[in-house]
Structure 1
Amino acid sequence: MELQLHNSSTTVAVSDAVFGVEYNRALVHQIVTAYQAGGRAGTKKQKTKGEVRGGGKKPWKQKGTGQARAGSIRSPLWRGGGVTHAAVPRDFSQKVNRKMYRGAIRSIVSELARSGNLLVTDAFAVEAGKTKSLVQKLTTLGHSDVLIVSESIDQNLYLSARNLHKVGLCDVAALDPVTLLAHDKVVITTDAVKKLEAWLS
């Protein structure tokens, strides 16, 4: 198949196996969920009755005081006591096969190409590392919520994009399913298309 360059009659030949596959919603959902789960810190920790400092001695004798029996001042029922079913550090990551991960990326980029949300350009650069320069360039494209994918990160482009919360910038090696789905449009250079095709083939 062929992808047409944005605002041009020129086309770029690409593989149907990468940019022409059917959208697999279940696979994309599974991979996105696993990717987000892998980003969780999982460092939440609370102390149980046995971990709270103190409480080693029985506060009063079992019988004869008229008070309810108690074995420790660090009981979960007491102020300053431990937590019942306390949270412990855990690993939220899920196992994802390499073929499944690449299959999800292929599915996403194919759907972007089909829906017209994948804009291919010969090159994408700004003259100076100023936010204003990139805003003007995006205005000519007619889009503000975009992900810019290039073969390598240009310093000026990085400096001009980092202060725009609706503009993402990454190279092909840093692409992930969540970033691809987070923006309305994806602007990708022809060099990045070839590199992406080589990675996913």
Structure 2
Amino acid sequence: MASLKILDSSGKQKGEVAVNDALSTVSKLSVIHRAVVAEQANRRQGTQKVKTRAEVSGGGRKPYRQKKTGRARQGSIRAPHYAHGGVVFAPQPRSYEKKVNRKERRLAIQSAFAAKLNDDAIVVVDKISFSEPKTKSAVELLSKVGAADAKRILVILPAYDEVAFRSFRNLPNVEVRTAPAAVKDGDDPVKTQGFSARDLMVAHKIVIAEDALKAIQEVWA
């Protein structure tokens, strides 16, 4: 069982927290790949539309006679090789939706978390809160816990905090998510998650509140 150091807001070690084996062992990278590809595909609108030669206006009449002109035979001025002609195999509106099984999504998040844990990319802070929404306060916190220099940072809060969200909002390299909600009887953990496998994988540093880590272990471990 792995463990993580718990830092206070000044960057000093306050203690340690154990991480369950399910969140500290990378099971399958292929499952992470499928989950990330599916999420990115599901974000696509699929509204692309280009006209084929059947849909372009005009071109119904043969431009000139078949023979005795000395020119190559043509059947329409809207053929694909003409300027303003239709497009061959033109992109049409479609759905890019990909489905991932519930167990695979769960395994993907567990494996993604374990991968970041093994890369020493996870920082646990005892509390992430601010008295007032200030970007300066957010930058100071990230700097003291050693995450300010990361290219992409994921901050995970135990619950929605308007002040914290507004404090991090102006930082272009920081994404803020909430921990998955505590699972009640009959709830689907996949639907109560606050972040995805992609959120974990694209982050170079993950800053987690201690209470958020407890919720993550309760739901996903």
TM-score w.r.t. structure 2 length?
0.80
Offset at residue 158 of structure 1 (A): 1.1
Cα distance in 1 for partners of 2:14, 2:27 equals: 27
8 Å contact 2:26–2:112 — kept in the other structure? Answer: no
8 Å contact 1:148–1:170 — kept in the other structure? Answer: yes
Larger deviation: 63-72 or 126-135?
63-72
The runs of 5 or more residues in structure 1 that have no matched partner are none
Percent identity, aligned pairs only? 37
Matched, 1:60 2:80: no
Summarize deviations over 1:83-122 as a string: whole Å, max 9, x none. 1221222322322111111101101212323333222222
In the TM superposition, 1:1-201 aligns within 5 A as: 1=1, 2-6=3-7, 7-17=12-22, 19-144=23-148, 145=150, 146-172=153-179, 173-201=193-221
Offset at residue 64 of structure 1 (A): 4.1
8 Å contact 2:5–2:16 — kept in the other structure? Answer: yes
Partner SS, residue 5 of structure 1: strand
Summarize deviations over 1:4-43 as a string: whole Å, max 9, x none. 31233433344323x2323422222222222222222332
Cα distance in 1 for partners of 2:18, 2:49 equals: 53
Summarize deviations over 1:26-64 as a string: whole Å, max 9, x none. 222222222222222332221111000112222333334
Cα distance in 1 for partners of 2:116, 2:66 equals: 71
Offset at residue 156 of structure 1 (A): 1.5
Offset at residue 78 of structure 1 (A): 1.8
| C-alpha RMSD of matched pairs (Å) | 2.1
Aligned CA distance change for structure 1 residues 142 and 84 (closer, same or farther; 3 Å)? same
Cα distance in 2 for partners of 1:65, 1:115 equals: 72
Aligned CA distance change for structure 1 residues 101 and 67 (closer, same or farther; 3 Å)? same
8 Å contact 1:3–1:11 — kept in the other structure? Answer: yes
The runs of 5 or more residues in structure 2 that have no matched partner are 180-192
TM-score w.r.t. structure 1 length?
0.87
Which structure shows the higher helix fraction? 1
8 Å contact 1:127–1:133 — kept in the other structure? Answer: no
- Partner amino acid, structure 2, of 1:176: S
8 Å contact 1:166–1:183 — kept in the other structure? Answer: no
Partner SS, residue 58 of structure 1: coil
Q: How many residues align?
A: 200
Summarize deviations over 1:125-178 as a string: whole Å, max 9, x none. 122212111111212112213211012121111112111122221112331122
Cα distance in 2 for partners of 1:77, 1:140 equals: 62
Partner SS, residue 99 of structure 1: helix
